[in-house]
Structure 1
């Protein structure tokens, strides 16, 4: 099991040691990781929606319910 570190000392530009509380750093990391998790969830939801939409469009194309207009220049 890892020991919990309560305080770290960081040196500022003047070379003075400035103590920084680990729980505050942990809170900052937790906030940023929570935000990243929320963004991942949103992106996964969008991906699932787009995959469902793609599936539906492909079925409509295969069944002939939709047609694709193609320029004659592209075909030639």
Structure 2
């Protein structure tokens, strides 16, 4: 599964697929940022050390046009 991840992907581990208990953010080069426990500082760790991957999610960014809309005609 690790061969498909890209920087910015979220990897969910621990628990089960419908209710994962841990999330890490893929940084790239086989690394991810995560907080080992609630209240702890975020650490950078190897993806391979995160245990069984339950779900991978890719957040897709969509450009939002911020120009004002033309007036509505009746």
- Scaled by the length of structure 2, what TM-score is found? 0.24
Q: Which has the higher contact order (CA 8 A, sep 6+)?
A: 2
Between Structure 1 and Structure 2, the one with more helix by share is 1
Structure with more strand by fraction = 2
TM-score (norm 1): 0.24
